[in-house]
Chain A
Amino acid sequence: KNEVEQSPQNLTAQEGEFITINCSYSVGISALHWLQQHPGGGIVSLFMLSSGKKKHGRLIATINIQEKHSSLHITASHPRDSAVYICAVTDNFGNEKLTFGTGTRLTIIP
């Protein structure tokens, strides 16, 4: 079993729909990251969470430490949001190594 599980693996939605991507982890963590990977491979860090909720534009990320679960939401989705979204965690050993989920491929149709 992977330490970081994401669902769904693939998601196709119409422009304007509300999107939710889920991430569950099984290890103790110091932080959880949501990353966006574009078709060329480049990765952008969207959020780092250790508790609660963060919002940036149309993106919202939440984390429930007790349940070991995080969600990434996209409101008013747009075709330019199409990308692979990756959940990653840093363990609590202080070396900031990332363990990644397998990613969710999101496609927004105009």
Chain B
Amino acid sequence: SQTIHQWPATLVQPVGSPLSLECTVEGTSNPNLYWYRQAAGRGLQLLFYSVGIGQISSEVPQNLSASRPQDRQFILSSKKLLLSDSGFYLCALAVSTDTQYFGPGTRLTVL
């Protein structure tokens, strides 16, 4: 069965510092991978998705970037964090239209 690992689980970073959140998946090959963010008091929003190694699509203009260096690895990065980057970040994978799996999430607080 598919498993998604995310780390770290929680992170507190100062404004202007860099960010790297990692997501790795097991139990599947060539999945579609997604980064979602849930800002405080708001719904989930798609940030990036990837259909394969090196293939990244961005859904919203922002301070963040994503990379997929390996089939089962998806990384979310920022060079300089903003206060507005605070939120709950979820990695997800889809192996078909009817199957979506979510990681445990990373709670990021930017101070």
Contacts and interface: CB of A to CB of B under 8 A. Distances in A.
**Which one of B88, B97, B99, B102 has the highest number of Cβ atoms from chain A below 10 Å of its Cβ?**
B97
Q: Is the interface on chain B under 10, 10 to 19, 20 to 34, or 35 or more residues?
A: 20 to 34
Interface string B80-111: 00000000101010101111111011010000
Interface stretch (B14-22, B34-42, B71-79): B34-42
Interface residues of A, number: 24
Nearest to A88: B44
A107 to B, nearest CB: 16
| Interface residues of chain A: helix, strand, loop or mixed (majority) | strand
B27 interface: no
A50 B98 contact: yes
A95 B51 contact: yes
B34 A42 contact: no
A90 B101 CA distance: 14
Interface in B7-55: 32, 34, 36, 38, 42-46, 49, 51
A83 interface: no
